[in-house]
């Protein structure tokens, strides 16, 4: 399965993966499978970058706790660090 990932506000993760955009070929079909792939490829430190929000294909929000959420070939995922303040 081919997945495109863009990172926003996740500088530690950007450093680990070598940029703010990655294209990857992974086995599996869930958010948990994606995280396993990222941890295997880039190291377990990737998991420490959680929690963040995931926007799928520019229109569907996936809660970071929803690791069983299914993904499809060609999905574009934006990983965003949401910060509040004023």
The 3-class secondary structure across 17-72, one letter per residue, is HCCCEEEEECCCCEHHHHHHHHHHHHCHHHHHHCCCEEEECCCEEECCCCCCCECC
Going from N- to C-terminal start, the domains of the chain cover: 2-80
Candidates 63, 86, 83; CA nearest to 10 is: 83
pLDDT digits (tens, 9 = 90+) for 11-41: 888 888 889 999 999 999 999 999 899 989 9
Global pTM value: 0.85
pLDDT digits (tens, 9 = 90+) for 47-71: 776 667 899 999 999 987 788 999 9
Q: Looking at the domain covering 2-80, what would its CATH class be?
A: alpha beta
Residue 64 Cα distances to 7, 15, 43, angstroms: 14, 21, 19
């Amino acid at each position: 399965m081919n997945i495109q990932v863009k990172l926003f506000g996740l500088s530690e993760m950007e450093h680990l993966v070598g940029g703010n955009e990655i294209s990857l070929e992974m086995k599996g079909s869930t958010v948990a499978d994606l995280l396993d792939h990222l941890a295997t490829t880039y190291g377990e430190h990737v998991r420490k970058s959680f929690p963040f929000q995931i926007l799928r294909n520019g229109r569907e929000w996936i809660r970071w706790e929803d690791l069983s959420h299914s993904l499809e070939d060609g999905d574009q995922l934006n990983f965003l660090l949401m910060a509040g303040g004023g």
